[in-house]
Amino acid sequence: MMAKNVKDLLAEANGAVPKLSTAEAVEKIRSGDVLVVDVRDPTEVQQTGRIKGAVNVSRGMLEFRADPESQYHNPVFQKDKTILLHCASGGRSALAGKTLQEMGYTTVFNIGGFKDLAEAGIDTEPA
């Protein structure tokens, strides 16, 4: 098997995980009953704040938080829930979405970067 680079991994993830426009993301968040997951590192979230109600799970901890069998499982992760993932620009959230799909999560969307969402008027809060 040929080794993959980041570009390959991102292309696969972007092909598998539906990407919402900022407007679509804002609409879904406002409609409620979604889990917004911020996969940026805590230091990034500290600097900018987060989308109101979002859960911050850094990319490196995602599998542990999302797996019900893991001692680090966060019960907000439910496989039947609509999950909206974002990071700073949309790359890590695409990769995170593909991972969640592989773990059996079925309704997963990449909503891109924090700055675009905040500028679109979505409610934010301090970290």
The reply to whether 9 falls in a domain is: no
At 1-49, the pLDDT tens digits run: 899 999 999 999 999 999 999 999 999 999 999 999 999 999 999 999 9
- Looking at residue 70, which CATH number applies to its domain? 3.40.250.10
Strand 124-125 and strand 50-51: pairing?
antiparallel
d(CA 74, CA 67): 8
Q: How many domains does the chain have?
A: 1
Per-residue pLDDT at 112 exceeds 90: yes
Chain centroid to Cα 76, Å, comes to 13
pLDDT of residue 1: 81
The reply to whether 85 falls in a domain is: yes
First to last CA, the chain: 42
The reply to whether 79 falls in a domain is: yes
Q: What is the DSSP letter of 59?
A: G
At 40-71, the pLDDT tens digits run: 999 999 999 999 999 999 999 999 999 999 99
The reply to whether 67 falls in a domain is: yes
The reply to whether 10 falls in a domain is: no
CA atoms within 13 A on the CB side of 20: 24
